[in-house]
Amino acid sequence: MKALLLTEYKTMQCTDVEEPAMGPDDVLIQVEACGICGSDIHGYDGSTGRRIPPLVMGHEAAGVVVATGDNVTDLPAGSRVTFDSMVSCGQCHFCNDGHQNLCDNRLVLGVSCSEYRRHGAFAERISVPRRIVYQLPDSLPFEHAALVEAVSVAVHAAAVTPIRLGDTAVVVGAGMIGLLTLQAARAAGATRIIAVDLNDKRLDTALKLGATDVLRGDQVDVPNAIREMTEGRGADVAFEVVGATPTVTTAIESVRKGGAVTLVGNVSPTIELPLQSVVTREIRLQGTCGCNGEYPQCIDLMNRGVIDVEPLITAKISLADGPKWFERLYAGDPEQMKVVVCPNA
């Protein structure tokens, strides 16, 4: 079958690879759409250390069931499906405690590190365990369904954040996940949502997707501006969706006393923290990792239009176009939000 293969760092090839192996509990899926994630771009040059060539990357995907293992009886061929990006073991303490996203033995599709190699979905077909597969309604296009994984990150972030009906939420970083997070926060009950970014186009998109206010982080003192908007208090909750010292500080300083800051971004492995501000104002800091069973909820929210991903899809490409698009995205293209690969188009 054809696949987009990272043969060495900064080199992608559309080439023939072996068909995926399928066990008795697995599902073979014909991939109809797979989004290029920012982590794939970081993996392209080896900077993350978690995508060691040769590797088929890609973990945001949807498609059609081709075949199933002997133990799978509830998913007929032709079923429209998507699947989680993480394969949890189902046996460790965290899996048994209902926190599959924190699994001790988790594998991530399209990731290869020193511990394991798991090929991903930049390919015509992929095999995944039945337990991470979810059926799709006919009304949800494949290119939209490929973004369920990204939506699940946002929905999980909102789920672990103490949002109450009528709250004011700040989203620092209006990239792909930030724009999804502001929609998830709105769905969770926040009625005033302030998006912060350095890019006017992204802020315009934020307004179209439900932000009530937008701020250019390089043109105003964001915490002061937010206090002026909130009668001097600050926002109730903030989502930091970048992962760097300046934006984390902005999120912390933008919330009221007793407010909560959820850390979604993780660009920098370490940051400086305004500790005294956190302690003396009793701010709650919450990390969030991936998703934890929110796929059905995400599919429903997307299918009903509560979360809209169409404005975020800026290009649909073939496998053959993959190498030049990776070069383009790696070089930096601010006009592109989500590029979706369609292997069987």
In the chain, % of residues over pLDDT 90: 93
pLDDT at residue 313, as a whole number: 96
Mean pLDDT of 4-13: 96
**109 band by pLDDT with thresholds 50, 70 and 90:** very high
**49 band by pLDDT with thresholds 50, 70 and 90:** confident
Q: Are residues 209 and 278 in the same domain?
A: yes
Confidence check: pLDDT of 50 > 90: no
Task: Look at residue 296 and tell me if it is in a domain.
Answer: no
Which CATH number goes with the domain that contains 327? 3.90.180.10
pLDDT at residue 330, as a whole number: 94
pLDDT at residue 47, as a whole number: 83
Confidence check: pLDDT of 289 > 90: yes
Q: Are residues 88 and 132 in the same domain?
A: yes
Task: Look at residue 299 and tell me if it is in a domain.
Answer: no
- Of the candidates 318, 322, 35, the residue with the CA atom closest to the CA atom of residue 177: 35
Which CATH number goes with the domain that contains 257? 3.40.50.720
Average pLDDT, the chain: 96
**267 band by pLDDT with thresholds 50, 70 and 90:** confident
Interhelix angle for 222-229 vs 245-254, to 10°? 20
Mean pLDDT of 37-63: 92
Mean pLDDT of 274-290: 97
Task: Look at residue 304 and tell me if it is in a domain.
Answer: no
pLDDT at residue 165, as a whole number: 97
Confidence check: pLDDT of 58 > 90: yes
Q: Are residues 142 and 158 in the same domain?
A: no
User: What's the rounded Cα separation, in Å, for the pair 63 and 60?
Assistant: 11
Instruction: Read off the pLDDT of residues 207-257 as tens digits, 9 standing for 90 and up.
Output: 999 999 999 999 999 999 999 999 999 999 999 999 999 999 999 999 999
pLDDT at residue 268, as a whole number: 84
pLDDT at residue 136, as a whole number: 98
Confidence check: pLDDT of 140 > 90: yes
Task: Look at residue 301 and tell me if it is in a domain.
Answer: no
Mean pLDDT of 268-296: 95
Q: Are residues 199 and 319 in the same domain?
A: no
Confidence check: pLDDT of 345 > 90: no
Task: Look at residue 298 and tell me if it is in a domain.
Answer: no
pLDDT at residue 290, as a whole number: 92
User: What's the rounded Cα separation, in Å, for the pair 304 and 237?
Assistant: 26
pTM for the predicted model, two decimal places? 0.94
User: What's the rounded Cα separation, in Å, for the pair 126 and 84?
Assistant: 13
Strand order across the beta sheet in which 284-287 lies: 213-216, 192-197, 168-172, 235-240, 255-263, 284-287
Q: Are residues 16 and 137 in the same domain?
A: yes
Diameter of the chain measured on Cα atoms: 62
Q: Are residues 220 and 130 in the same domain?
A: no
User: What's the rounded Cα separation, in Å, for the pair 114 and 332?
Assistant: 28
User: What's the rounded Cα separation, in Å, for the pair 183 and 195?
Assistant: 11
Q: Are residues 257 and 328 in the same domain?
A: no
Most confident of 90-94, 102-106, 133-137: 133-137
Confidence check: pLDDT of 269 > 90: no
What DSSP element (H or E) covers 321? none
Q: Are residues 228 and 262 in the same domain?
A: yes
Q: Are residues 18 and 110 in the same domain?
A: yes
Q: Are residues 247 and 222 in the same domain?
A: yes
79: domain range? 2-147+309-341
pLDDT at residue 104, as a whole number: 94
Q: Are residues 140 and 251 in the same domain?
A: no
What is the per-residue burial (b if ≥16 Cβ within 10 Å, else e) of 73-83?
Answer: eeeeeebbbbb
Task: Look at residue 208 and tell me if it is in a domain.
Answer: yes
The domain total for the chain is: 2
Task: Look at residue 303 and tell me if it is in a domain.
Answer: no
Task: Look at residue 266 and tell me if it is in a domain.
Answer: yes
Q: Are residues 126 and 162 in the same domain?
A: no
Mean pLDDT of 103-132: 94
pLDDT at residue 256, as a whole number: 98
**320 band by pLDDT with thresholds 50, 70 and 90:** very high
